[in-house]
Every structure is written in C-alpha cells, then in structure tokens.
C-alpha cells in the first residue's frame, strides 16, 4: 500500500521541491475522490467494505499530503519537520484500515482467511510501532522507521499471498488485491532505497506517485466490481420474489375461476345450487386455510411464525382494550443452546427445538399460542391471564423442559421473561418488556423466570397497530351462515393487510395479501348475488354495480402495488372506508331485512 511508507528522515530531504506540488495534489485529490465515492456507496447500500474503503481513501490521502511536498507548501517552515513523524503515525492507522478492508474482500476464500490472524497482528504491530515516531528523539525515530518498514513489507507479502490464494479459488476481487499488494511492495522498496541513499528523492517520488496511482486504480476496480455484484444479487432476489408472488396469484385466480364455473353450472336448481355453492366455498376455504397455515407456521417446530403472531395479536389486543381482560406474554430461550449446536451438530439442536415445543404445548390451553420468535427464542401468548397466572405457567414449562433427557445430549434448561399487557401500551413496548425480563433471568444465573414490572399507565394512549383495525361485532350478522362467515373472513383479511402496511413489508407480500383479499371478495360477491337473485331482492342490479365498482378499484390498486407505486392512504381508505364501512356495514345492511322476511314467509318443514 503506497501511502503506508517509512517517512524519510528530515536530514535526507533536499530543500527544493522535487516534483510540482500540483501533480502531488492531483494524486491526493484522486484518493479523496475515491474515499468520498466509497462513503456515498456505503450510505446508499449499507455495505461494510464500502465504509472501510471510504475511510481508507481519506486516510491514505492525509498520509500522502503529510509526506509529500504538499504539506511543506502549506505550512510554515518551522512546522515542516513535524510532518514526517505525523505521516508515519497516519500511515500506521491507514495500514490497519487496509488490513480490515482486505479481510472483507477476501472473506469468501477459506485459504485466504487462514492468513487473516497473521495479517491482523502485523497491521496492529505496525500501527503501534508508528506511535514511537512521535517521541522527540532521533534514535527512537529512526528505529521506529526501520521496524515499521519491515512490518509494512511483511504485511504486503502476506496480503499478496492471500490474494493469490483467493484468486485460485476464483474470487473476483482477488486480482485487484494482488495488484494493490504489488504496488505496496513497490512503495516499501522505493522508500527503503531512498532511505539507504541508493536512489534520489526525485526518482523515488516519481515511482511512489506511479505506484500510488496504480493502487488507487486497483481500489476503484474493487469498488466497481462490488457494486456490480451487489446489483446482480439484488436484481436476482427481486426477480425471485416477484416470480413467486405471480405464481401464487395465478394459483389463487385459477382456484377462484374453477369454483365460479362449478357454481354457475349448478344454479338452475335452487336447492342443489345453494348446497353446491356452500360445498364449493367450503372447499376453497379449506384450501386457502391450508395455504395460510403453511405460510404462517415454522416448518421445523410447527409453532407460529412472526407473521401469524402479528396477525393474531391484533385481535387479542383489541379484545383486551375493549373488555379490559388481562393478556400476558412469556418470552423464553434455551440456555447455552449454541454449545449444543457446536458440540452435537445442528441436527441435534433442531431435535431439541422440536422436543421443546412439544413439551411446552402439553402445558398450554387451546387459547394459548406458541410462536418461534427467532433461533432458539420463543413467545407464548396467554389470553385472559394475569401476571401471576403467567408466572405459574412459565415455571411449569421451565420445570417440564428441565426434566426431559434428550438422547445423546442430556438435560437442557431455559430462561423465561413474563410481561402482562398494559392498556394503551404499544406491541413493541410490550415485547420489549418481556425481552428485558428474559435478559434479567439470564443475568440471574439462567434456568429461572423473571417478571417485567408494569409500566405507568398513560391516559388515552392507544397502540399504533389498533388504529388501523376493524373489529367484527355480532350486530353485523345477517342471519345467513354463509354470508356472515364470508364477511368475517373479509374483516380478517383487511386487518391483516392493514397491519403489514404499517411496517416496512416487501411489496411482494403486500401484493400477495391484496390478491388473497381480492379473490375472497370476488367469491363473496358472486355468492351474495346468487343468494339475492333467488330471494328476488329488488335492488339486485344496483348491488351488482356496487360490487363491480369495488372489484375494479381493487384491481387498480393491485396494479399500482405491483408497479411499486403503493399509495398507503388510498389503500387504507379503500379497505376501511369503501369495502368495510361503506359496503359490508352499510350497503349490505339494506338486504338483511329482505332476507329475514323471505325466511319468515317460507313454509316450515
């Protein structure tokens, strides 16, 4: 690395400028530009190597300025001698950043990674030795200069060797690292030669500038290559997500079309048509429920995943707010689970997680839910239960798990944190209190349970999530089992969609949820119109026109979501105002009395 050099003692430097300051400043400007460009790339892409490359470019520029004639042209004459020890210290710091950057660039190569510790120790040693140059004693300065030069040469050789190993592994950035390592060796050799008096300073400065320029080009090469790799990876991930969403949407649309065709063919006979419609709808509902169950369940343990929990907890929070019922949460994870994976393998660790969930389920009620929160961390949501009851349940689970003897592993223990929901508290704050209690149990020695204290009540506070929730009420029922079941299903799907809109959810998932809602709405409108046609509802034509308008607006919103043009306000207004309040709770209420009167006029069996 060209700016990581051993500064030539002031006694060996000639008085006149060797190379024009403008040329030297141009090279410093290139390094500064590379540093700022890398920093901007890191700000946009949040990629660690770009941050380190930006820091390296700026520090390398500072080192070159302090070593070259640029500092001499800007400072008073009595300050010039101090620039050489400063340049050595800056070079040591830059050397450490360079080692960290190359470690990231070569991380994908196992042979190169085997040399990482040696390169890190060499860089740290050089950085510490460079500090001795600040001691105002000539022997100390010369000794630190000599030792620093040896360590820089050693690091250059190690980096070159690591780059060659990574190149044999097929790593794309290895070539640039090799070129940079060669340029670093050239810098060290040139500075050693001028220090020994073998070449003139004019020659050394020319060689140094050429080597530094080569190094800067190699650094720019690495930056461009990484940008291309990140762009390709991002495009591939987006393509896969969109393809999966489109396939799922086509499957749902195919199911809806198939069921509609079956219903249309059987509507000629009133009794058979109604029974066939109910059977078809039940079959579709089971298929969709199975799809949703698969998407909402952790594949390994069978516990709920985060998505399913976030959907279900909305209703529980709304119920707790409205009825003032208690609601508690237990967060737990296994103690020293990493040791199980490291000692017995991940297969044994997976078996422990499966056995853990099976054991915990035996102590839960039907209304309780277990959620895999991440890794070996789980949640248990316990409705209608105060803190004391949740603590008792947590202790029961802890004792049951500790009593299990896992084959080949033995006993495992877990730590638990318990928190009761406080009215007006946000979901994230509730989970955070349970998490803090879990950390308290860990700190207390593990294999124990701790309770989170209740927060101070905030008058009039509401959770951010429940502001976008529509709650089903018994007064909304029409008396027809099929219609009421479909209405409740649309309430649930609208709540689920509005819940993900309040978070940074990928557009593909938003599109998929909207597509599911659209399919259910289309099926419901079809079944509702068939029922009203048989009941001779006088405003059926107007009702069908309203249905068509709602479906048209929903499909337009789906197009905007797929195009990445989601308007959050427009979508929420459609769900809460147009579909739920304007139609299900207002327009549909108009035919309830008509259906009841038709049912009361029918002859009894």
In terms of Cα–Cα distance, which of 225, 224, 219 is closest to 1?
Answer: 219
| Distance from C-alpha of 32 to C-alpha of 360, rounded to nearest angstrom | 59
205: pLDDT strictly greater than 70: yes
In terms of Cα–Cα distance, which of 441, 311, 333, 436 is closest to 379?
Answer: 333
Render pLDDT for 58-99 as a digit per residue (tens, 0 to 9). Answer: 888 888 888 877 877 777 777 777 777 888 888 889 889 888
What single string gives the DSSP state of each residue in 460-514?
Answer: T---TTGGG-----GGG--S-HHHHHHHHHHHHHHHHHHHHHTTT--HHHHHHHH
> Is the Cβ–Cβ distance between 390 and 326 less than 8 Å?
no
In what order do the strands lie in the sheet containing 369-374?
A: 369-374, 377-383, 327-334, 414-420, 449-451
490: pLDDT strictly greater than 80: yes
CB burial class (10 A; 0-12, 13-18, 19+) of residue 55? buried
> Is the Cβ–Cβ distance between 464 and 360 less than 8 Å?
no
> Is the Cβ–Cβ distance between 369 and 380 less than 8 Å?
yes
Mean pLDDT of 334-362: 93
Strand 327-334 with 449-451, pairing: unpaired
457: pLDDT strictly greater than 60: no
Cα 562 → chain centroid: 21
Q: How far is CA 512 from CA 229, 471, 499, 578, in A?
A: 29, 22, 14, 20
At residue 24, the pLDDT reads 77
At residue 596, the pLDDT reads 77
Render pLDDT for 499-509 as a digit per residue (tens, 0 to 9). Answer: 766 555 677 77
At residue 210, the pLDDT reads 82
pLDDT, the chain, mean: 81
More confident residue, 2 or 214: 214
* Structure letter (DSSP) for residue 410: B
Structure tokens that stand for 341 in this block:
């994976």
- Least confident window among 117-121, 452-456, 460-464, 531-535: 460-464
Mean pLDDT of 508-531: 86
Cα 580 → chain centroid: 33
- Beta bridge partners, 225, equal none
SS3 417: strand
At residue 11, the pLDDT reads 36
pLDDT band at 331 (very low <50, low <70, confident <90, very high): very high
- Least confident window among 2-11, 151-160, 197-206: 2-11
Query: Strands, E, within 291-446: which ranges?
Result: 327-334, 369-374, 377-383, 414-420
- Beta bridge partners, 382, equal 328
Render pLDDT for 287-306 as a digit per residue (tens, 0 to 9). Answer: 566 666 666 788 899 899 98
> Is the Cβ–Cβ distance between 191 and 183 less than 8 Å?
no
- Beta bridge partners, 420, equal 328
Cα 548 → chain centroid: 39
What percentage of residues in the chain have a pLDDT greater than 90?
Answer: 20
182: pLDDT strictly greater than 60: yes
Render pLDDT for 232-275 as a digit per residue (tens, 0 to 9). Answer: 777 787 888 888 888 888 888 888 888 777 767 666 655 665 66
Render pLDDT for 528-581 as a digit per residue (tens, 0 to 9). Answer: 889 889 888 888 888 889 899 889 988 888 888 888 877 767 777 788 778 887
- Least confident window among 406-410, 444-448, 581-585: 581-585
Structure tokens that stand for 103 in this block:
């470690």
At residue 238, the pLDDT reads 82
219: pLDDT strictly greater than 90: no
């Amino acid at each position: 690395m060209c700016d990581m050099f051993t500064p030539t003692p002031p006694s060996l430097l000639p008085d006149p400028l060797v190379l024009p300051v403008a040329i030297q400043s141009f090279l410093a400007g290139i390094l500064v530009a590379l540093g700022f460009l890398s920093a901007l790339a890191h700000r946009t892409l949040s990629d660690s190597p770009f941050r380190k490359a930006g820091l390296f470019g700026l520090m390398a520029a500072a080192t070159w300025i302090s070593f070259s004639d640029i500092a001499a042209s800007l400072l008073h004459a009595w300050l010039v001698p101090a620039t050489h020890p400063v340049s050595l210290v800056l070079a040591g710091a830059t050397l450490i950043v360079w080692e960290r950057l190359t470690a990231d660039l070569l991380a994908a190569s196992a042979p190169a990674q085997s040399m990482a510790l040696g390169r890190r120790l060499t860089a740290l040693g050089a950085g510490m030795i460079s500090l001795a140059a600040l001691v105002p004693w000539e022997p100390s300065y010369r000794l630190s200069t000599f030792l620093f030069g040896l360590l820089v040469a050693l690091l250059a050789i190690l980096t070159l060797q690591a780059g060659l190993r990574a190149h044999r592994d097929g790593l794309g950035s290895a070539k640039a690292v090799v070129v940079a390592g060669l340029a670093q060796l050239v810098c060290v050799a040139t500075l050693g030669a001028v220090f020994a008096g073998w070449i003139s300073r004019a020659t050394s400065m020319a060689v140094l500038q050429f080597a530094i320029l080569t190094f800067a080009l190699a650094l720019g090469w690495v930056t461009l290559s990484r940008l291309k790799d990140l762009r390709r990876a991002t495009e591939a991930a987006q393509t896969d997500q969109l393809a999966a969403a489109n396939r799922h949407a086509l499957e749902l649309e195919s199911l809806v079309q198939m069921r509609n065709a079956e219903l249309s063919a059987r509507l000629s006979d009133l009794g058979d048509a109604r029974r066939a419609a109910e059977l078809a709808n039940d079959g579709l509902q089971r298929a969709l429920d199975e799809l949703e169950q698969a998407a909402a369940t952790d594949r390994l343990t069978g516990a709920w995943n985060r998505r399913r929990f976030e959907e279900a907890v909305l209703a529980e929070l709304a119920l707790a707010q409205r009825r003032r019922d208690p609601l508690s949460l237990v967060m737990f994870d296994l103690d020293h689970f990493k040791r199980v994976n490291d000692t017995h393998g991940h297969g044994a660790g997976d078996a422990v997680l499966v056995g853990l969930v099976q054991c915990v389920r035996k102590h839960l009620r039907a209304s309780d839910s277990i959620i895999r929160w991440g890794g070996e961390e789980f949640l248990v949501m316990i409705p209608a239960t105060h803190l004391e009851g949740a603590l008792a349940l947590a202790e029961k689970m802890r004792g049951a798990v500790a009593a299990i003897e896992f084959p080949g592993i033995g006993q495992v223990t877990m730590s638990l944190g318990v928190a009761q929901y406080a009215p007006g508290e946000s979901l994230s704050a509730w989970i955070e209190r349970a998490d803090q209690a879990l950390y308290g149990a860990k700190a207390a020695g593990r294999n124990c349970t701790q309770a989170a204290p209740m927060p101070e009540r905030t008058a009039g506070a509401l959770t951010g999530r429940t502001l976008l929730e529509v709650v089903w009420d018994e007064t909304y029922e029409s008396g027809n089992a099929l219609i009421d079941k479909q209405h409740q299903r649309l309430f649930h799907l609208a709540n689920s969609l509005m819940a993900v809109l309040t978070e940074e959810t990928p557009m593909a998932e938003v599109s998929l949820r909207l597509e599911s809602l659209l399919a259910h709405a289309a099926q419901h409108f079809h079944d509702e119109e068939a029922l009203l046609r048989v009941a001779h509802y006088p405003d059926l034509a107007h009702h069908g026109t309203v249905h068509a308008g709602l479906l048209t607006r929903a499909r337009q919103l789906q197009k905007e979501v797929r195009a990445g043009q989601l308007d959050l306000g427009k979508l929420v207004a459609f769900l809460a105002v147009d579909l739920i309040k304007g139609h299900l709770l207002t327009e549909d209420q108009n035919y309830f009395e008509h259906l009841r009167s038709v049912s009361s006029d029918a002859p009894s069996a």
